[in-house]
Chain A
Amino acid sequence: MLHFDPYSPAVDADPFPYYKRLRDEAPCFWSEEAQMWVLSRYADIVSAGQDWRTYSSASGNLMTELPNRAGATLGTTDPPRHDRLRALVQYAFMKRNLEGLAEPIRAIAKRAAEDLRGETTFDFKDFSAKFTVRVLMAALGLPSGEEAIVDEDTVREKAVLMVQSDPRTRSKGPEHLAAFEWMRDYAAKVIAIRRAAPRNDLISNFASAEIDGDRLDEREVLLTTTTLIMAGVESLGGYMMMFAYNLASFPEAREAVVMNPEWLANAVEESLRFNTSAQRFRRRLMRDVELHGQTMIEGDFVCLAYGSANRDERQYPDPDRYDIARKPRGHLGFGGGVHACLGASIARIATKIAFEEFHKVVPNYSRVADQLPWMPSSTFRSPLALELAVHS
């Protein structure tokens, strides 16, 4: 009997053997544990992503959804509302509009890297956490420095906690919900500050934006802002942990990008494919669908296992090999279709700059532990800590 339990610690640690069996034996699989269908092949997941009329996000897109988010954020609305919301924020995240952020991002990376100078072992999280929170504060216009209303570590802790779920109860525990509420309250305070004295930043603009003459409703402003902070901090931080994990595990790849930093861009793409940090999202069917001999019924939830699509041998030859020269065409590390990641460009730019600066201070490193503590999450995958040993 085939099982797939996205709540099990074994799947948090290493989902790939499960995915392979799903792709080969049951590409359209009903998971009792998750109470949803699981799609695992590249072509099926791309097709689902293209077809938002059938595969709706309006009932939530996180595998284990947070209360009240469905229908109120970018990731949890369908077109046409989704496209209009997205058009409001997309401009700030387009590659050509991010050039002004490159220098501030580099300064943040340099400072965070300097803090590591002289260390012989350290947890990479100390670097990635500091870096991501500061970058997101700069990108979204969250009050920072003198203006800050909370400390950086707390923002990062709450963002990481709110995406987790309890492996035992297969739902959000009280600590996860409390983190979500904390983040929502924080977002509400920031919105109030920016409304009282608007600046030229994303949140100020968003908080007063209109769609077709309608103001966005309060729930949309609040939950979209909350989600932007969560998605930004957790996704970027988690991804950087995975990238460092890959480079620490594959010395040849690390040496190549340290010697030739222009290789970082390729290595980033291959890492998004090989060790996808945003493993699984969900959709809900708006009609019955026949696929691979199964009938999925209108109203059923469907998991799109991006992490499996990215290891599908039908799309990527020798998929379990980490090959930074691969140029993985059309990988789903940022999802696909109308809900593809809003932050993809800033994530690419920030990661590249972060590792350029990190490698100037710490060019030679390896993993201390063989087994890592993996985050308990049905949606995301990354280690909670990554001890690195520095070599001369």
Chain B
Amino acid sequence: MAKITYVDWGGRSTTVDVANGWSLMQGAVSNGVEGIVGECGGSCACATCHCYVDPERLAELPAPDDNELTMLDLAAAEVRPNSRLSCRINVSPTTEGLVVHLPETQG
């Protein structure tokens, strides 16, 4: 279990407990956090779970694989150096307190 904070485009922040092994996308969707769609359910095939990870903590996360990078290109909102697909980041004790910002649109 880790506390994850999602901050939407308008600046509203929601903090929820997410179980270990769940993706950041699943944590948002199961808790009714809007701003992450997750159209493909987490198979890295839609880019509607785009998020911006706190740049300070980016290095703590496993790096994105090629699939994720290809799919990120299809994200509807601006892609930044700290852009990730939230279905590809799993919650673990190291993600405790992670803050992710949600983009203007998921398309």
Which residue from chain A places its CB closest to the CB of B107 in the assembled complex? Answer: A96
Q: Among the listed stretches A228-236, A338-346, A375-383, which one makes contact with chain B, having 4 or more residues with CB under 8 Å of it?
A: A338-346
Residues of B within 8 A of A154 (CB): none
Residues of A within 8 A of B40 (CB): 86, 90, 94, 340, 342, 344
Contacts across chains A and B counted by CB atoms under 8 Å? 76
A336–B90 Cα distance when bound, in Å, is 15
Q: A51-B21, A87-B67, A94-B46 are in contact. Are A46 and B41 (CB under 8 A)?
A: no
User: Per-residue CB proximity of A312-339 to B under 8 Å, as 1/0?
Assistant: 0001000000000001011000111111
Contact of A86 among B22, B26, B32, B43 (CB under 8 A): B43
A375–B43 Cα distance when bound, in Å, is 30
Main secondary structure of the interface of A (DSSP, over half): helix
Q: A43-B19, A50-B21, A51-B21 are in contact. Are A315 and B30 (CB under 8 A)?
A: yes
Number of interface residues of A (CB under 8 A): 31
Q: Is the C-beta of A33 less than 8 angstroms from some C-beta in chain B?
A: no
Contact assessment for A87 and B29 in the assembled complex, using a CB-CB cutoff below 8 Å = no
Q: Is the C-beta of B13 less than 8 angstroms from some C-beta in chain A?
A: no
Q: Is the C-beta of B54 less than 8 angstroms from some C-beta in chain A?
A: no
Interface residues on B, range: 20 to 34
Contact assessment for B45 and A87 in the assembled complex, using a CB-CB cutoff below 8 Å = yes
Contact assessment for B39 and A95 in the assembled complex, using a CB-CB cutoff below 8 Å = yes
Q: Is the C-beta of B23 less than 8 angstroms from some C-beta in chain A?
A: yes
Contact assessment for A337 and B45 in the assembled complex, using a CB-CB cutoff below 8 Å = no
Q: Is the C-beta of A47 less than 8 angstroms from some C-beta in chain B?
A: yes
Known contacts A335-B41, A340-B43; 9 further A-B pairs (Cβ under 8 A): A47-B21, A82-B43, A90-B40, A90-B46, A96-B107, A315-B30, A329-B30, A329-B31, A336-B26
